[in-house]
Structure 1
Amino acid sequence: MKITIVAGARPNFMKVAPIIKAIKQAQEKGKDIEYRLVHTGQHYDKKMSADFFEQLCIPEPDVNLGAGGGSQGEQTAAIMIKFEKELQENKPDVVLVVGDVTSTLACTITAKKLCIDVVHVEAGIRSGDRTMPEEINRIVTDAICDHFFTTSEIANQHLRESGIQRNKIHFVGNTMIDTLFQNLTRIKQPDIWAQYQLSKGHYFLITLHRPANVDDAGNLENLLDVILENTNDLPVIFPVHPRTKKILDVIQYSNPKLIQVDPMGYLEFIYLVKNAKAVITDSGGITEETTVLNIPCLTLRNSTERPETVTIGTNELVGTDPLNLIPYLNQLQHGKWKDSGIPPLWNGKTANRIVAKLFELYVIKDSKNKIASEN
């Protein structure tokens, strides 16, 4: 079985790392499986790309398509053109895509036009907000791929409601959590820990990059003001996304409580998450990690594609109005937060389940079909 694995953006790297590890374990057991790792180049900043391959022990990609930059349309087209050539030169039995970034959409369309099967890891998640590019990527990818590896029963339900056959839906768990468990003993204290005399449970961590929160300078300034005014005297650590940095540089925002730093490697960032009093974010993936690490999380969005982090986990959906943060921050200051748990199958063994299912789908079934045709 030959698999082409696609990675293009920072969250992809965290999701493919355990799958590659599980494939290597299968190879060591003599299993007939090969993989080719394709980096589309969607994220080309070193902190957003190369460092993740190094830290998560992902081997160098077999090819980097170098399709970063430009508008979404330009980037989608560039990936499709280059990935088509890649597949023609190195045809696999199946293409494996992860998540919901532009690379996922572009490579799925390209593979299907070449009549190559596609499996989607993290299929079926929906926010219900079609103004988000990621939501369009999810919908289109799930509409045309062949098999669906899901993180939750809610995702399964979304797929069933859209007409997907049950035998194509495979509830396996969350590879992001595999990566978390595999690296918890390796996380690194970042330099700012000593520099700012940080200590466990005595700082807030924020990440902001969504247009609704950061593109309007006045709105971003107001949001930061509310956070800083309602976190008492605790420092607020802010690894600044390149998109957000452009706005902050224009307004020259500063506050002695706000510690603005460059994007971090995975191991340093998870160290900060694990030891924070709480995380304030507009990301989706971080809400999964805070849930497993039992760290309170406040999500600055009006919808989430990961509702299990709210119904089961530590996450609360705050909305985009900064004033909505105040009662939640008050709860934290009084040491109160809701009871939480970990969603089913988020146990660090998802990648092994994925590889086992791939064998079942593309090796065992193929063998049976060949025997049946010969008879």
Structure 2
Amino acid sequence: MLRHFRSAVPVLAAWVLSLSSGAAPAATSFRNPLFAGGDPWITRVDGVYYYSASQCGVADVCIKHSRSLAGLAHAPWTGIWNHTDDKAPNARDIWAPELHHIDGRWYVYYAADDGDNDHHRLYVLVADRPEGPYAEADTGHPHGALAEASGHWAIDPDVFTAADGKLYLTWSCTDHADSRFPQRICLAQMRDPLHVAAPTVAISTPTEPWETRGKPIQEGPVGYTRAGHTYITYSGSASWIPNDYAVGLLALAPGASPLDASAWRKSGPIFDHHGTVYGPGSVVFAPSPDGRQWWNLYHAIERLDCQPAYRCRDIRMQPMHFDAAGAPVLGVPVEAGVALPLPSGDQAQTHEP
């Protein structure tokens, strides 16, 4: 995996240099950052990109949508859910909501607590339309709690279909009821979008220098299947220290069960700080409007004096590709302000679907 990463660096550097010497026309280019924020999530359904977030200023959980990938930069926020009980266990610290379209319904998976980080757990909302109305899902637990076997501290839930065709939940976990380190990557199979089957398996622990900067942390996992292989990207190291964050990759051995922790192989960092782009992380991949390209959406910061660093994050995107086995090749983060060509088939249309 690192071989592909290194080979992509001179190619991307030459591409950026050519853009700098002869900038693309404004009508066919865009510049990072797109907008302020962190922990990006995007999904595309029927030609429309849906981006979900918390702390957007209009509701606890919000979305924006556009038929143009670059057009998300100017699309307005729509609030889709607010908590109604200030004392509820999911009323505070709502983190990294992911909007998923599964079997015709819309689900938002997120982490929340009651104001005490040690109480962070996983929750899910459900609706029949992307704009809602959303309700706390009937999971059999109060407030739509997405209960898993360990009952331990948990954040950053993601659901995905592995190469075996089954639905899985992955998230950042500890081995305690509270937030004591290390934070690891956990995995469990799902019976359906609202219920987690036992067991919970810890498939990775932070051990490498690039995932133990500041604190031993693995978080923000995103699973996907490509070319018959199953992968999980994740972010390593402390999010509150400006230049710590980096991206790692877990690859499942072909034919192995995702619940076999020994079958996962770690590599990285596959995306790390470069130039004045600090702390890149929380990568998520989206196709261009015509399906001819893939793009990496991520957050990063430009300042080293921001404390905590996550308050200065912004959202960026740049082209990427997959190698023959389906592993992501991300290159290096492009400096802010560099003119990049619009995604293939993207006319920077309005946000209207």
CA radius of gyration, larger in: 1
TM-score normalised by L of structure 1: 0.27
TM-score normalised over the length of structure 2 = 0.28
Q: Which has the higher contact order (CA 8 A, sep 6+)?
A: 2
Structure with the higher fraction of residues in strand conformation: 2
Identify the structure with the greater helix proportion. 1
